[in-house]
């Protein structure tokens, strides 16, 4: 049901408010018959009386209507010149309430828009306008499931106006068609002098990642435009791009004569975030009908055209949303224990942009554990290390997976079983290589023997140590940090403090440790994945805070070294409650009191 039938008084209220405001409202009856509410108005904009229209969303009055004033030019800010949409600033839905009217909204916001719209891109933002830039590429009707990957830091020399682009497509890509989904990557931009433009290239880790995907390389032309192309319809825009330069039309006609599909890149200046201008990109895609081989004629007939937009995947682009984590780009973390706490922790480190992860575990993924292991049933049977390494390498190319610590006999599955008497390699040697030049050790084994071993090893080497564990039933958990070369305590001190009740014990289900799944030689605990991951999130926060300590604009420091989680109270589930404690040297600790 359309909104004006659902709320007939709303339409009457709208028209009345527009009449009172002197906007001379006229219903577009044809649009209303199609189920779309559009009302034409007369409006004074930038000193001139103009025809305008208001288009109402299907979910009116809960979402605001949109004002369209065509023909205001191509240089205004907060204005879409293609369709004449006026962005009345402050886009957030919190700025529109159901009791408001279009007339009231336009009357209040249009004067602010007029002030901001005529300002230059390099001018500072007014207090009444949104902070974000509105690049021309955001207005183009591009295919949402197709993109060409670039690095936003690239700048083309102004003296170079055309050339070719080397683009790689995903493995299995056969031909550019409108219905196909793809993310293609630009590997080189070549100028009209046939030389590769220096400084316009992805960093080595991203290049290696692209090559590892087995992509297919293609070469397409590009052209610089003096300004973003502006047209009211997609067809006009396509015609304008095709006729922007004689060589564009010649190239497409030639490709069309060979029944080939392809892309043509266009570079132009557009508004940059924070003000000023940057290089914007748009790609004209064409798919030629088979059998259309005659030369000459209109390049549009016998071909399908559509637009493909850019996406940005340089190192800056991948991490600019997390500026406090920038120091992690130089850090290495050694993780041991890749179960329901350690595995999501490893993924969180990779998403945060850690430079290198060294993974250690001696187990494989079993089907029954996938209810709380992050990668699901398709991982069953795979070694945990290899499966996480595969996923991280495929999805987070700037994080290296270190493998130098694996002994020769375990390289196939990357499994290292600490304490296993049947191993044919030196486990101490393996751990020493694992710890070499690392910045932090992250222990998610929940094994006290391993906790104590690593505590002594990291103290001897001056490496920060974070250990995390969940408790039976998923009722709670803890995070403990040991900072060598400080006046803080160690893991032995933590255990003594637990005995003395100076630090609280995490909550646990007294019946939650008695599960032995069929076919499993060990008893495991019962807990939901979303409960145990609370511990992983806090552990990674503790580790990141430690790694970035002292860095300019790094992640803030966490003062306490022990955190204890409770997720149940009096038999009821509660929102996470954390207690935090200082970890002091304990008088009974033989390590800290030598």
Per residue in 152-177, pLDDT (tens digit) is 999 999 999 999 999 999 877 777 88
Torsion of CA 11, 14, 17, 21, to 10 degrees: -130
Tell me the domain boundaries of the chain: 3-132, 137-318, 322-581
Q: What's the Cα-to-Cα distance from 25 to each of 5, 22, 64, rounded to whole Å?
A: 19, 8, 17
Spell out a b/e string for 205-236, using b for 16 or more CB atoms within 10 Å of the CB, else e.
ebeebbeeeebeeeebbbbbbeebbebeeeee
The CA-CA-CA angle for residues 307, 310, 316, to 5°, reads 175
Percent of the chain with pLDDT over 70: 94
Q: Which of 215-219, 510-514, 537-541, 564-568 has the lowest mean pLDDT?
A: 510-514
What are the backbone dihedrals phi and psi of residue 193, each rounded to the nearest 5 degrees, phi first? -90, 5
Of 308, 379, 311, 372, residue with least CA distance to 344: 372
By the 8 A CB rule, do 133 and 272 touch?
yes
**Average of per-residue pLDDT values in the chain:** 89
Residues 6+ apart with CB under 8 A from 457: 431, 435
Is pLDDT at 410 greater than 60 in this prediction?
Answer: no
3-132 and 322-581: identical CATH topology: no
Taking residues 398-417, what's their average pLDDT?
A: 78
Total-model pTM = 0.88
What residue spans of 376-474 are helical by DSSP H? 384-395, 427-435, 448-461
Q: Identify the CATH assignment for 322-581 out of 3.80.30.20, 3.40.50.720, 3.40.50.150, 2.30.130.10.
A: 3.40.50.720
- For residue 461 the two structure tokens come to 């080497």
By the 8 A CB rule, do 472 and 525 touch?
yes
What is the C-alpha to C-alpha distance for residues 358 and 336, in angstroms, rounded to an integer?
8
Helix H, strand E, coil C: the string for 237-305 is HHHHHHCCCHHHHHHHHHHHHCCCCEEEEEEEEEECCCCCEEEEEEEEEEEECCCCCCCCCCCCCCEEE
| CATH architecture, domain 3-132 | Roll (3.10)
pLDDT single digits (tens) 90-100: 777 888 999 99
pLDDT at 293: 46
């Amino acid at each position: 049901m359309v909104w004006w039938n659902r709320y007939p008084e709303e339409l009457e209220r709208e028209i009345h408010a527009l009449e009172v405001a002197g906007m001379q409202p006229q219903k577009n009856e044809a649009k209303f018959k199609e189920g779309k509410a559009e009302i034409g108005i007369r409006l004074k904009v930038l000193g001139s009386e103009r025809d305008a229209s208001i288009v109402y969303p299907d979910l009116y009055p809960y979402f605001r209507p949109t004002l369209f004033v065509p023909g205001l030019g191509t240089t205004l800010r907060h204005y879409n010149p293609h369709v004449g949409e006026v962005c009345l600033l402050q886009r957030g839905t919190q700025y529109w309430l159901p009791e408001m009217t279009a007339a009231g909204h336009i009357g209040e916001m249009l004067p602010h828009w007029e002030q901001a719209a005529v300002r230059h891109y390099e001018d500072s933002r007014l207090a009444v306008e949104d902070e974000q830039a509105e690049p021309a590429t955001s207005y183009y009707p591009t295919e949402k499931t197709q993109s060409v990957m670039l690095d936003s830091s690239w700048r083309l020399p102004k003296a170079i106006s055309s050339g070719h682009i080397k683009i790689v497509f995903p493995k299995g890509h056969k031909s550019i068609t409108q219905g196909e989904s793809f993310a293609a990557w630009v590997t080189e931009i070549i100028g009209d002098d046939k030389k590769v433009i220096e400084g316009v290239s992805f960093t080595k880790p991203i290049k290696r990642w692209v090559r590892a995907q087995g992509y297919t390389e293609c070469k397409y032309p590009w052209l610089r435009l003096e300004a973003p192309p502006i047209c009211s319809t997609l067809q006009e825009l396509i015609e304008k791009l095709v006729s922007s330069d004689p060589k564009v039309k010649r190239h497409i006609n030639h490709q069309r004569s060979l029944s080939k599909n392809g892309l043509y890149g266009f570079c132009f200046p557009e508004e940059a975030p924070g003000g000023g201008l940057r290089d914007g990109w748009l790609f004209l895609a064409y798919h030629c009908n088979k059998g259309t081989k005659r030369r000459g004629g209109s390049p549009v007939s016998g071909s399908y055209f559509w637009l493909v937009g850019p996406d940005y995947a340089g190192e800056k682009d991948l991490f600019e949303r997390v500026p406090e984590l920038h120091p992690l780009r130089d850090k290495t973390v050694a993780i041991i224990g890749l179960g329901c706490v350690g595995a999501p922790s490893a993924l969180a480190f990779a998403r945060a942009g850690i430079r290198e992860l060294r993974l250690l575990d001696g187990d494989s993924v079993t089907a029954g554990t996938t209810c709380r292991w992050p990668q699901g049933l398709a991982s069953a049977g795979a070694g945990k290390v290899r499966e996480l390494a595969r996923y991280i390498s495929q999805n987070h190319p700037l994080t290296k997976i270190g493998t130098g610590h694996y002994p020769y006999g375990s390289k196939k599955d990357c499994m290292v079983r600490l304490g296993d008497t049947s191993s044919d390699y030196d486990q101490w040697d393996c751990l020493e290589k694992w710890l070499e030049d690392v910045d932090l050790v992250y222990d998610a084994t929940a094994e006290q023997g391993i906790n104590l071993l690593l505590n002594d090893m990291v103290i001897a080497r001056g490496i920060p140590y974070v250990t995390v564990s969940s408790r039976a039933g998923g009722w709670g958990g803890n995070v403990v940090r040991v900072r060598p070369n400080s006046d803080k305590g160690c893991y032995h001190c933590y255990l003594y403090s637990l005995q003395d009740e100076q630090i609280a014990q995490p909550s646990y289900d007294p019946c939650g440790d008695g599960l032995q799944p069929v076919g499993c030689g060990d008893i495991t605990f019962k807990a939901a994945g979303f409960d145990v991951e609370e511990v992983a999130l806090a552990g990674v926060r503790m580790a990141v805070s430690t790694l970035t300590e002292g860095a300019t604009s790094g992640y803030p420091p966490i003062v306490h070294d022990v955190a204890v989680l409770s997720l149940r109270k009096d038999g009821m589930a509660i929102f996470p409650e954390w207690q935090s404690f200082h970890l002091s040297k304990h008088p009974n600790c033989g390590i800290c009191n030598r």
